[in-house]
Structures are given as structure tokens and as C-alpha cells.
């Protein structure tokens, strides 16, 4: 219970002995919820059709959805907000966007873009994939 909250140097020393318990069984955690200033970047997934039309496939705003879809998508905001982090984006972002190529197959998407919308800044598109199986471009 207390191990994860140890000072990092001490924790790194003892962690190998408790890895099975802490990370394997996920029985320890840090509990600094809301302590850091929140990231305010909205992460949106935009699809581009053959005709050039841009469609929002997945945004973070829950309020525009119906009740059932809000319940189903309860964790989508959390999942998608992780893609603000460059290392997460590098590791998994392309897989995430390719999922929309498959799931939205009926819309005949050509490209899927990850768009970051941070207040006071212009829109940023750090990642996109082509839906025809070609190599993604950054």
C-alpha cells in the first residue's frame, strides 16, 4: 500500500522485490488525483473522406451525445486524452487512428487525423494515418 509513495530513490531500490505485488497485481498506486494543473488540450479524431469532407469521429465533448452513448463512451475521454502525451502518441497513436479507418469503413475515409485543440493556440495535427494501408505521415 505504501510502497508506491516512497521517495523515488528508495522505491527504485526495493521495487524489484515488490514488482509482482505492485505492478503485476496492481495493488499499489500513487493517489495524487487532480494535484497537477489539468491539461486543457482537447483531443479530436477527424476523418477525411474522398470528397475532402472532414468529419469529427471522436471528440472529448460528452455533452453532444445521447444518454446511452455517453454511458458507452464513459472512458473514451480518458483514453483519448492520453494522446496529448507525446510518448503515448508515439507508442500507440497510429494504432488508435487505424482503428477508426476500420470502424468507420462505410464512410470510405481516406485519412484520419489526430487534432489537438488547446485554448489560445492554433489547431495542431501531430499525427495522421492514411486508411489505404500506406505508411502514415507525421
Q: Site residues (CB under 8 A) for other proteins?
A: 1-2, 5, 19-20, 23-27, 29-42, 60-63, 71-72, 74-75, 77-79, 81-82, 88, 91-92, 95-96, 99, 102-103
What CA dihedral angle connects 83, 88, 89 and 90, to 10 degrees? Answer: 180
Q: Are 123 and 115 in contact (CB under 8 A)?
A: yes
**Shortest Cβ 51–other proteins spacing (Å):** 26
Which one, 2 or 52, has the nearer CB to other proteins? 2
Which one, 37 or 52, has the nearer CB to other proteins? 37
**Shortest Cβ 130–other proteins spacing (Å):** 17
Please, which residues bridge with residue 103 across strands?
Answer: none
26: left (phi over 0), alpha (psi -120 to 50) or beta: left
Amino acid at each position: 500500500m505504501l510502497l508506491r509513495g516512497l521517495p523515488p530513490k528508495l522505491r527504485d531500490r526495493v521495487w524489484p522485490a515488490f514488482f509482482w505485488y505492485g505492478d503485476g497485481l496492481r495493488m499499489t498506486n500513487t493517489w495524487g488525483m487532480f494535484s497537477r494543473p489539468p491539461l486543457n488540450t482537447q483531443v479530436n479524431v477527424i476523418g477525411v473522406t474522398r470528397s475532402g469532407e472532414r468529419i469529427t469521429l471522436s471528440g472529448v465533448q460528452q455533452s453532444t451525445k445521447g444518454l446511452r452513448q455517453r454511458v458507452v463512451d464513459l472512458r473514451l475521454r480518458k483514453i483519448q486524452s492520453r494522446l496529448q502525451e507525446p510518448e503515448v502518441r508515439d507508442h500507440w497513436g497510429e494504432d488508435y487512428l487505424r482503428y477508426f479507418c476500420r470502424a468507420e469503413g462505410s464512410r470510405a475515409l481516406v485519412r484520419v487525423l489526430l487534432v489537438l485543440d488547446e485554448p489560445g493556440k492554433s489547431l495542431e495535427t501531430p499525427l495522421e494515418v492514411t486508411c489505404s494501408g500506406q505508411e502514415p505521415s507525421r
